[in-house]
Amino acid sequence: MSYDELIKKVKRISTLGNIGGLLGWDQETMMPPNGLKVRSEEMALISELSHEWFTDDKIGELIEAAKEEQLDEDQQANVREIEWEYRRSKALPTEFVVEYSKVTTEAMEVWRKAREDNDYASFAPFLQKIVDLNKKYAAYIDDSKDAYEVLLESYDNGLTLQQISTFFDELKTAIVPLIEQTNDQTDISLKEKKVPVEKQRNAARALAEYVGYNFKKGRIDESTHPFTGYESRITTRYEDDWVMTLMSTIHELGHGMYEQGLSEEARGTPLGEAASLSVHEGMSRFWENNIGRSKAFWTGYFPKVNEAFELNSDLDTFYGVLNKVEPGFIRVDADELTYTMHIILRFEIEKELLDGSLSIEDLPRVWNERMQKYLGITPENDTKGCLQDTHWAMGSFGYFPSYALGNIVAAQLLEGAKKDIPGLMEQVAKGNFDKLHDWLQKNVYDYGQKYHTGELVERATGKKLSTEDYIAYMREKFQ
């Protein structure tokens, strides 16, 4: 069958991509600083070969032949997603792919130093190159569409720019007043307790084991910016703020457990990959917030942290600290209420950079103005402002909206799980996540990319994707 030959070739290309993923993981966790030049060349070669193999005319011929064969639903879904990706990849010249890889690999190191030195000027030329490359990318794919629409599709195929803009307008209308009305006077001195890095490292592993992360498939390492990479491996960072260490760890565990739940049999094909970035972020936000910031979760787990960190505290005090609303500059450290506004700010800036209404030179100023407008604070430097995230250096324009979309997905999935699992939060309080894992496996993990975000969530919950459950969740918790 042409289908079988197509899948064999696609899996081979996926394996090459996994090698690139391993190189990227190494760059973020273990690579010596002087390894950048060689790593840039290695990554460029991987990108070049992957692109050449996938855009070979033979792949297109096999896709067309497979579409004429008798295929079941899963096979049809595989062909549909492979064809969609093939058409986009075929539109990109190989030399463009190589250039993109080289620029972003170098930009990552420039950004890392710029962030450390609070030196936006040194990163700005690379950011300009990346914006220009993203515009070229979008034009190659479909020059009849808004460039940002094309980029968003790379992460969330099936959700339109108009849908996302509408969702975010609804969120702004609901959340900004909640932030303005909040006057949280919770004493957070508990966070000032100095917890040695080794104790935090042990706690991160213990937390992973508690929620069900499989260390036979993954591991935890340390990086500047926490991420989940090659083979469900996660990273975290150990900070003076040990609460943030715990929460960034459980966020990445959500990503890692999703990766571990994907079909091994379908590995290397669309059915063995995450449905979308918004679903992926939905899984991380689900575990970080809907489960990990709930009182039920800490009813079961706080005694372990209290003992390990010698806090001499109690659950109610810790729960107040964990959920304190206080607008801050750093997205990854943001409380649950203000977090979404960090994403909407980035969404608006990305749109404006790509349509030309915002210049690279003006970005820091506009960033600070929006922070003041949405969160009532202004960063004192660019390290705490527009330099804080790695995504633009990676070239990932269109990625940020997935975080806020993930909040929407997570809240709706939580309601679906509660409906299907009586006493869910009581089980969470006992540290029993078996039924929840089974529900996520059945309703999310098993499908891979068989369904796009909206259809996947609707099948799991019986309702169309909307902001309703997320807004209700936020109002109930914070109003």
Active site (catalytic) residues: 252
Q: What is the 3-state secondary structure (H, E, C) of 67-117?
A: HCCCCCHHHHHHHHHHHHHHHHHHCCCHHHHHHHHHHHHHHHHHHHHHHHH
Query: Are the beta carbons of 151 and 137 closer than 8 angstroms?
Result: yes
Rounded to an integer, what distance in angstroms lies between the CA atom of residue 357 and that of residue 190?
Answer: 44
Provide the 10 A C-beta neighbour count for residue 133.
17
Rounded to an integer, what distance in angstroms lies between the CA atom of residue 277 and that of residue 154?
Answer: 9
Looking at residue 260, its amino acid is: Q
Provide the 10 A C-beta neighbour count for residue 33.
8
Looking at residue 81, its amino acid is: E
Query: Are the beta carbons of 262 and 273 closer than 8 angstroms?
Result: yes
Closest residue by Cα to residue 242 from 181, 316, 306: 306
Tokens 């669309």 belong to 270
CA end-to-end distance (rounded Å), the chain: 59
DSSP state of 228: B
Rounded to an integer, what distance in angstroms lies between the CA atom of residue 454 and that of residue 203?
Answer: 36
Rounded to an integer, what distance in angstroms lies between the CA atom of residue 385 and that of residue 382?
Answer: 4
Looking at residue 276, its amino acid is: S
Q: How many CA atoms lie within 13 A of 388 on its CB side?
A: 20
